[in-house]
A and B are shown apart, each in its own frame.
Chain A
Amino acid sequence: MSDVVEKTLTALPGLLLSLDSQPGAAKLCATSRLGSLVRSITELTSKNVGEEMAEPPAGPRSPKQMKEIMVRAIYCEMLGYEASFSYIHAIKLAQQGSVLEKRVGYLAVSLFLHESHDLLLLLVNTVLKDLQSTNLIEVCMALTVVSQIFPKDMIPAVLPLVEDKLTHSKEIIRRKAVLALYKFYLIAPNQVQHIHDKFRKALCDKDPGVMTASLHIYLKLIKESPESYKDLTDSFVTILKQVVGGKLPVDFNYHSVPAPWLQMQLLRILALLGKEDQRTSEMMYEVLDESLRRAEINHNITYAILYECLKTIYTIHPKSELLEKAAKCIGKFVLSPKINLKYLGLKALTYVVQQDPNLALQHQMTIIECLDHSDPIIKRETLELLYRITNGQNVSVIVEKMLDFLRLSKDEYTTIDLVGKVAELAEKYPFPYNSWFIQTMNAIFSIGGDVMQPDIPNNFLRLLAEGFDSDEEDRQLRLLAVDSYLSLLECDTSGLPQRFLQVISWVLGEFSFLKEGLEPADVVERLGKLLDDDAITTETRCWVLAAMSKLCGSSDALCKAEKVAHKYTSCLDTALRQQAVELELLGRDVDLRTRVLPQHVIGFCVWLQVDSSLSFLDGFVSDALARGAAPYKPPHQRQEELSQEKILNFEPYGLSLPVSLSACSLTDRQSPTALSLSSSLSGNSADPPLKAGSNLLKLEGVKRVWGKQGYLPEKQATEEALAQEPSSIFAPSHQQACSESQQTTFSTIVEQDQEKRQLASSLFVGLGSQNAPCLLGKPEASSSQRFRRKVRPEDPSDVNRSLAVSSSFSHSSSALDVLLDNAIPDPTAVCLLVEPASAQNLSDSTSEAVPAVGNTEVVEASEVSSLSGGSGPLAQPSSQVERGLESDLPSRLPATLVGLLRSDVEELCSGESLSLSACKVFDADALVLAIFLKGAEFVLFSLFVCFSLCLNHLYSEGVAQCQGWEEHLNLGEASLYHSVSPPASCSCRPLPLTTEEYGKMWLSFSHDVKQNLMLLKHEEEDQLEAALTALKEKLCLHIVDVIGAEGIMACQLVSGRPCLLHCHTHGGMLAIWLRSPIADLPDCLLYHCQKAIQER
């Protein structure tokens, strides 16, 4: 059928021409044309569709006819036939037609076009005209189309008109205007920033419709910064009270529930406002209670409100009374016979179960039933719930259930998601038995195939390579893996996904020597068989060859491997060819082979060291910079610039060596732990045998995190808890299981019941009485990992901050110019103070900001008084200058800065008669750079620049040389040049935490980096302490606790963003593990740690 359509469509131009030449044929247009079109389309074959669609694009047509044609075009588009020729006519119709044709024209435009369509620009004028029209309907139509599709760039053109409509006398116009502004806010939030107080007016509108519409905006605003809208809590609560109390007109009732949409919107807003805020939460307890109480009618809409209410109650600061009621409501959902409600009940349980695992226990029989439900959606949601209550005791049952579901599921999206979760569970609780772990991972690899997240195999390999506490345990696990893969290779391998084959070849290459009596040659042969399959990809072939080169210890194996490799030495794929050539070279050079392939060293990847900061390239980079190469820009910055540059680049792309190399260095640095074969094959190393190991080296550098019980840092806590509560853990869940099943399943057959009960006890084991370790450990950990995928890599506020910083730079330099013009005859002190531009912590930092602002005045006052007093005060400092900088200049600091931590005064540069010195003063929320310009006779002036520090700062400096702050001072004949780069380490402040707080925060942070650093001074007795002290001094970290060979530290950026460090020494190495809620922070802090340790 589709080719018929295609044929008719290609014949379209011809048809159009013929129709044009016979005007009579097309002039049949009448009001009933759509009807006949619909009929003919439904009756006839698709052959006629093209013909019917064939509307002459030009020609004399009245708007009325055009309207008919447009309706037909919309219909055709809906059926899936493209009618792009009619788009322009839709716009014309909206422009030219009278009201009723306009309506269709606008409709067609909103259906045909999308926001970035070029033709939309042609509509702007029409919209402008209609917005100014005196006809209400035209205004309505214009507002409707504006809030559906409008080009972002043209918003300023209509914004004033739409704004005016907010005060229109008709509520329908006001309502639509508010929604149009909502739309503008969504696509370009900056452009409507100035009308935020008008939103407040809309919120207070006497018409409930307008007020409801304004809530859409508030929901978005509050989601972004709940802090700034706390003052509105009271209003929202009052509105909700009125709505619940039935104070709105009956019009807004829906099935006798007053304004449900409004209620839900308000509940959602309250949840955002009350989250983690006890005081605000207390304001809403009463109204939430009221809402719960009122929602009694058995109708969907009341359940919708109830559900939203539950979510709010569990989000805000908890109140036990409300929680109890909410728990009862969840029961109503879960036990409901209606499947939709049951689904929502499960969802609510999933949401709640982390706070209250007992709820899952109460409903365990229902959960078991849902697990076998015929509807896959219910099953899926149940698994999600089980995933949240997994612990060390029930993990194998739950994973089994998940794998069962996966085997039946066809949906790719579900597979990816669920496979990730199974892998996470298997890694978190890896050792009920070693073999279980390997089998589970095998199942994951074969089911997840090539769609799963690539970090699953990476993590698995890392786990294998790194090992655990006991060497024997490691050996066993690796041996099991080797065994299971060897037996897999025996069978048919054609069905195995590529990723799995890659894992297999890596493991065999690395660990097959552990198996006694297994000849490397055998392994090489089996691996070689893999290559015979045509379906296997080049990437996998690379992995196989890499594995073979590791097995080349014996001449027998070498011989076989060379034979295989020889085939690929002329391969077209460069990566593969390189691998093959390397293998050949390795075969020829015996010395090299014995050096890079030592026999039987367990975990020989461990002693390979990586300098992940690539400090050996520093000289190269600075040379390149000196020669005028562009400084390195991190990828996100490049991306931004690219997107800003819309102009086509007509220049040929130059290949600049330094830039490309530093780019390489960064990609490596950014992912020090990623196991990526491709990067090791990038081909700029001269030493091929290193290559074979270079995919290994990225594996190491990771601390031991996993022990027998799971996660090491928590192990102690869990053990303690377990010790306090002896084996009676099992008893309560059993009891409850029994009583519950008696209540709910009277009618079920005893046998079935027994079965289910068994399942229940295996599923819910360890849930009830184990609260303490549960709350502290696993559930939060899982939540943090769950959030990891959702967290955006870039925090939008950072962009603002970087803007603020750059403007502060330009400010200071321009102010300096002014200063130099004016100040020289009459030396004065100048103070520039750029307030920390953090929109987020505005409210809580206002108190701190006030003294900071105070600073300015103090400085100015003191300086002016001391300097303008005439020659006397001026002469005094000059005598001090002779005595040296250290004693003199710091005393010139204003009183507010004197007590603070500061660096030594350094002379930055000096000329014949002038010198420039500076020192850094660490204020609580800023870095103050005090600059002193000193003449031969006296101090000319002091300049205090207060940098607002932020992540970007740290980041840019960490990655490459920060461009810094350059300035020329031209003072008569004396000319000075200096560039100051605000040191990144200055942005850190100690974060005082207790060990317990640290533990909680650690679990909730999602971004982490791990790295092993070489401690150079082996002779030291307490290496850990020495390292910690060095870090503390260099980076202003706070040492939280030291336990044995492990130490934990915490710091925060001046913006208040925390970063946690975990250090662990073993054998001259310092394993550092950093975690933070911000994506790039751990990475760049690691760089500074490394520097600090090296410089020590």
Chain B
Amino acid sequence: MQFMLLFSRQGKLRLQKWYVPLSDKEKKKITRELVQTVLARKPKMCSFLEWRDLKIVYKRYASLYFCCAIEDQDNELITLEIIHRYVELLDKYFGSVCELDIIFNFEKAYFILDEFLLGGEAQETSKKNVLKAIEQADLLQEVRLGGGLFFLGFNSFH
């Protein structure tokens, strides 16, 4: 996978993750172009797009568009399922996720994404394992806030 973008129906970017090194200018240009192209497509149309030499796989969940760029030899359907799995993870973590969750806790959304995809490849495909890893890290955060016990997180990590 080359990159992943989340944007709203109004075209506002909500999350961006780039797995290939690109300049900021390039990123902005790609984002602008893609958001326009994807938003212009009708709901009954195919979820795949050919764009430059890449393939774009996108899916809309409520008001949010999830959009991934993959290479030619990659499988489109599995990318669609990667998006779906990510949504499932968000849903499970936030408890019926909505756009506002992602806006106000976008760093959490990033953490989950990093735990699921690493360097553009699916890292952990077991939903349970991903959430467990996130919870462990979060737990540490809370313990720290509450009791200030620094290494408790380490002990509980099993």
Residue contact B21 to A136, C-beta cutoff 8 Å: no
User: Which residue from chain B places its CB closest to the CB of A375 in the assembled complex?
Assistant: B45
Residue contact A104 to B119, C-beta cutoff 8 Å: no
B46 interfacial by beta-carbon distance below 8 Å? yes
Residue contact A78 to B21, C-beta cutoff 8 Å: no
Please give, as numbers and ranges, the residues of chain A lying within 8 Å of B44 by CB-CB distance. Answer: 339
Report the tally of A-B residue pairs with Cβ distances under 8 A: 165
Q: Which of B18, B106, B125, B151 has a CB less than 8 Å from the CB of A259?
A: B125
Residue contact A300 to B80, C-beta cutoff 8 Å: yes
CA distance A252 to B128 in the complex (A): 9
A172 interfacial by beta-carbon distance below 8 Å? yes
CA distance A269 to B81 in the complex (A): 20
CA distance A182 to B23 in the complex (A): 23
CA distance A179 to B120 in the complex (A): 10
**In the assembled complex, how far is the CB of residue B128 from the closest CB belonging to chain A, in whole angstroms?**
5
**In the assembled complex, how far is the CB of residue B81 from the closest CB belonging to chain A, in whole angstroms?**
5
Residue contact A377 to B48, C-beta cutoff 8 Å: yes
Q: A340-B48, A375-B46, A414-B50 are in contact. Are A134 and B154 (CB under 8 A)?
A: yes
**In the assembled complex, how far is the CB of residue A563 from the closest CB belonging to chain B, in whole angstroms?**
47
Q: A100-B141, A343-B48 are in contact. Are A179 and B119 (CB under 8 A)?
A: yes
Residue contact A413 to B104, C-beta cutoff 8 Å: no
CA distance A103 to B138 in the complex (A): 10
**In the assembled complex, how far is the CB of residue A270 from the closest CB belonging to chain B, in whole angstroms?**
14
Interface positions, chain B 1-33, Cβ under 8 Å from A, are: 12-19, 21-24, 28
25 contacts between A and B (CB under 8 A): A35-B104, A74-B106, A78-B16, A79-B12, A98-B144, A99-B144, A100-B141, A103-B111, A115-B21, A134-B154, A136-B157, A137-B140, A137-B154, A140-B137, A148-B114, A148-B118, A179-B121, A209-B123, A209-B129, A254-B125, A262-B125, A307-B75, A340-B47, A340-B48, A413-B52
CA distance A307 to B154 in the complex (A): 43
Q: A80-B28, A107-B111, A262-B125 are in contact. Are A137 and B151 (CB under 8 A)?
A: no
Interface positions, chain B 24-64, Cβ under 8 Å from A, are: 24, 28, 42, 44-53
Specify the main secondary structure of chain A where it touches its partner: helix
A251 interfacial by beta-carbon distance below 8 Å? yes
CA distance A115 to B18 in the complex (A): 11
A82 interfacial by beta-carbon distance below 8 Å? yes
Please give, as numbers and ranges, the residues of chain A lying within 8 Å of B53 by CB-CB distance. Answer: 413
**Ordered nearest first, which 9 A-B pairs have the shortest CB separation?**
A304-B77, A251-B126, A114-B21, A304-B78, A100-B141, A261-B125, A375-B45, A115-B21, A339-B46
Residue contact B81 to A378, C-beta cutoff 8 Å: no
A578 interfacial by beta-carbon distance below 8 Å? no
Residue contact B45 to A344, C-beta cutoff 8 Å: no
CA distance A114 to B46 in the complex (A): 33
Interface positions, chain A 784-824, Cβ under 8 Å from B, are: none
Interface size class of A (residues with CB under 8 A): 35 or more
Please give, as numbers and ranges, the residues of chain B lying within 8 Å of A778 by CB-CB distance. Answer: none
Interface positions, chain A 119-162, Cβ under 8 Å from B, are: 134-137, 140, 144, 147-149
User: Which residue from chain A places its CB closest to the CB of B123 in the assembled complex?
Assistant: A179
Please give, as numbers and ranges, the residues of chain A lying within 8 Å of B46 by CB-CB distance. Answer: 339-340, 342-343, 375, 377-378
CA distance A274 to B93 in the complex (A): 42
Q: Which of B17, B28, B103, B128 has a CB less than 8 Å from the CB of A251?
A: B128
User: Which residue from chain A places its CB closest to the CB of B76 in the assembled complex?
Assistant: A344
CA distance A136 to B152 in the complex (A): 11
Residue contact B121 to A182, C-beta cutoff 8 Å: yes
User: Which residue from chain B places its CB closest to the CB of A257 in the assembled complex?
Assistant: B81
A1001 interfacial by beta-carbon distance below 8 Å? no
CA distance A251 to B131 in the complex (A): 12
Q: Which of B19, B52, B122, B153 has a CB less than 8 Å from the CB of A137?
A: B153
- New contact pairs (18) apart from A78-B15, A213-B123, CB-CB < 8 Å: A75-B106, A107-B114, A111-B110, A114-B22, A135-B154, A136-B154, A137-B154, A144-B114, A186-B119, A209-B126, A259-B125, A260-B125, A264-B78, A301-B81, A343-B48, A374-B42, A375-B45, A411-B51
Residue contact A137 to B157, C-beta cutoff 8 Å: yes
Please give, as numbers and ranges, the residues of chain B lying within 8 Å of A216 by CB-CB distance. Answer: 121
A71 interfacial by beta-carbon distance below 8 Å? yes
Residue contact B76 to A340, C-beta cutoff 8 Å: yes
User: Which residue from chain A places its CB closest to the CB of B81 in the assembled complex?
Assistant: A301
Residue contact A339 to B45, C-beta cutoff 8 Å: yes
Q: Which of A148, A213, A301 has a CB less than 8 Å from the CB of B77?
A: A301
Please give, as numbers and ranges, the residues of chain B lying within 8 Å of A308 by CB-CB distance. Answer: 75, 78
Please give, as numbers and ranges, the residues of chain A lying within 8 Å of B141 by CB-CB distance. Answer: 99-100, 103
CA distance A148 to B127 in the complex (A): 21
Residue contact B21 to A116, C-beta cutoff 8 Å: yes
**In the assembled complex, how far is the CB of residue B87 from the closest CB belonging to chain A, in whole angstroms?**
13
Q: Which of A100, A209, A340, A377 has a CB less than 8 Å from the CB of B124?
A: A209
Q: Which of B13, B45, B157 has a CB less than 8 Å from the CB of A377?
A: B45
User: Which residue from chain A places its CB closest to the CB of B148 in the assembled complex?
Assistant: A98
Residue contact A74 to B107, C-beta cutoff 8 Å: yes
B94 interfacial by beta-carbon distance below 8 Å? no
Please give, as numbers and ranges, the residues of chain A lying within 8 Å of B85 by CB-CB distance. Answer: 254
Q: A78-B16, A413-B51 are in contact. Are A140 and B133 (CB under 8 A)?
A: yes
A1007 interfacial by beta-carbon distance below 8 Å? no
Interface size class of B (residues with CB under 8 A): 35 or more
Please give, as numbers and ranges, the residues of chain A lying within 8 Å of B14 by CB-CB distance. Answer: 78
Q: Which of A98, A172, A176, A260 has a CB less than 8 Å from the CB of B78?
A: A260
A759 interfacial by beta-carbon distance below 8 Å? no
A610 interfacial by beta-carbon distance below 8 Å? no
A322 interfacial by beta-carbon distance below 8 Å? no
CA distance A340 to B76 in the complex (A): 9
**In the assembled complex, how far is the CB of residue B14 from the closest CB belonging to chain A, in whole angstroms?**
8
User: Which residue from chain A places its CB closest to the CB of B158 in the assembled complex?
Assistant: A170
Interface positions, chain A 9-51, Cβ under 8 Å from B, are: 34-35, 38
CA distance A343 to B44 in the complex (A): 13
A421 interfacial by beta-carbon distance below 8 Å? no
A363 interfacial by beta-carbon distance below 8 Å? no
Residue contact B150 to A98, C-beta cutoff 8 Å: yes
Please give, as numbers and ranges, the residues of chain A lying within 8 Å of B107 by CB-CB distance. Answer: 71, 74, 104, 107
Interface positions, chain B 84-102, Cβ under 8 Å from A, are: 84-85
CA distance A307 to B157 in the complex (A): 39
CA distance A13 to B150 in the complex (A): 38
**In the assembled complex, how far is the CB of residue B15 from the closest CB belonging to chain A, in whole angstroms?**
7
**In the assembled complex, how far is the CB of residue B6 from the closest CB belonging to chain A, in whole angstroms?**
10
CA distance A676 to B46 in the complex (A): 43
A953 interfacial by beta-carbon distance below 8 Å? no
A212 interfacial by beta-carbon distance below 8 Å? yes
Please give, as numbers and ranges, the residues of chain A lying within 8 Å of B114 by CB-CB distance. Answer: 107, 110, 144, 148
**In the assembled complex, how far is the CB of residue A788 from the closest CB belonging to chain B, in whole angstroms?**
15
Residue contact B76 to A261, C-beta cutoff 8 Å: no
CA distance A137 to B52 in the complex (A): 39
**In the assembled complex, how far is the CB of residue B64 from the closest CB belonging to chain A, in whole angstroms?**
14
Q: A136-B157, A140-B133, A307-B77 are in contact. Are A34 and B45 (CB under 8 A)?
A: no
CA distance A576 to B80 in the complex (A): 55
Residue contact A260 to B45, C-beta cutoff 8 Å: no
CA distance A78 to B5 in the complex (A): 11
CA distance A504 to B130 in the complex (A): 64
User: Which residue from chain A places its CB closest to the CB of B124 in the assembled complex?
Assistant: A209
CA distance A175 to B122 in the complex (A): 11
Please give, as numbers and ranges, the residues of chain B lying within 8 Å of A186 by CB-CB distance. Answer: 119
Residue contact B77 to A251, C-beta cutoff 8 Å: no
Interface centre among B18, B19, B81, B151 (most CB of A within 10 A): B81
CA distance A249 to B14 in the complex (A): 35
Please give, as numbers and ranges, the residues of chain B lying within 8 Å of A99 by CB-CB distance. Answer: 140-141, 144, 150, 153
Residue contact A304 to B75, C-beta cutoff 8 Å: yes
CA distance A161 to B104 in the complex (A): 36
CA distance A580 to B157 in the complex (A): 81
Q: A78-B15, A114-B22 are in contact. Are A340 and B122 (CB under 8 A)?
A: no
CA distance A175 to B127 in the complex (A): 15
